Amino acid sequence: MFRKLILLIALAGATLSLSAQEASTPAAEPTAAAPASDAASTQTAPPEDFKSMDQEVQSLKKDVLDLNRELFVLEEDLLFPANTQIAVFVSMDVGEFFALDSVTIKLDNKEVANYLYTEREAQALLKGGVHRVFIGNLKTGDHELLALFTGQGPHARDYRRGATIKIEKGVGAKYIELKISDRASKAQPEFVVKQWE
């Protein structure tokens, strides 16, 4: 909402800037009434005007994009301040023994995220992608995070596994990585929960 408001202000600014330019163009009109010798020079002038206007529009577009990016960061900082922020990421390594279907995250026994992975998304994870499945706020103190993974395990059997971790939330953002990897020795998938400070 806030972002939209700022963009509207930026666009209004653009309109004003363009109208100001339009307002300045009548000054060039009297040259049209100038002698024929000057006519050739006035005919070449408009393309330059257009060029400068186009450049101005392009730079304005760039400004709007920059502003949008800054606002996105600001919005995230305001909604999820570093002191209370918790983010949970999902990553996969190999994945020969597990085809990911969904991940459910429970924080202190309350479901906070439930994400269904499409085939394309699961493939992206296998290629090294990391997915932020949850971002939220958490008070300082001790908490419990439960991650439930569903998918297909070895021999295409339906597979459901949970992994729990005790979190001690202090001051500063907390990052948790849920890593799915293969345990070749047991021919089974392995679910590792890792904390990043």
Answer for which of 74, 116, 184, 192 binds other proteins (CB under 8 A) is 116
Each residue 58-97 as x (binds other proteins by CB under 8 A) or -, in order, gives: ----------------------------------------
Residue type, 184: A
Are 194 and 107 spatial neighbours (Cβ–Cβ below 8 Å)? no
- Residue 98 tokens read as 């597990």
- Residue 187 tokens read as 């021919």
118 binds other proteins (CB under 8 A): yes
* Binding-residue total with other proteins (CB under 8 A): 9
119 binds other proteins (CB under 8 A): yes
Q: Which is nearer to other proteins, 89 or 115 (CB)?
A: 115
Residue type, 101: D
Strand spans (E) along the chain? 85-92, 99-107, 110-116, 130-137, 141-152, 158-169, 174-183, 188-196
Each residue 11-40 as x (binds other proteins by CB under 8 A) or -, in order, gives: ------------------------------
Are 31 and 44 spatial neighbours (Cβ–Cβ below 8 Å)? no
98 binds other proteins (CB under 8 A): no
Question: Is 194 strand, coil or helix?
Answer: strand
Contacts of 141 (CB under 8 A, 6+ apart): 168, 169
Each residue 124-163 as x (binds other proteins by CB under 8 A) or -, in order, gives: ----------------------------------------
Torsion of CA 114, 117, 121, 122, to 10 degrees: 120
Answer for which of 80, 89, 115, 191 binds other proteins (CB under 8 A) is 115
User: Which is nearest to 174 in space by CA: 147, 116, 134, 146?
Assistant: 134
4 binds other proteins (CB under 8 A): no
User: Which is nearest to 91 in space by CA: 172, 197, 196, 184?
Assistant: 196
Q: Which is nearer to other proteins, 91 or 150 (CB)?
A: 150
Answer for which of 88, 98, 105, 117 binds other proteins (CB under 8 A) is 117
Window of 46-54, 88-96, 117-125, 127-135 that interacts with other proteins by CB under 8 A: 117-125
Q: Give residues in contact with other proteins (CB under 8 A).
A: 101-102, 115-121
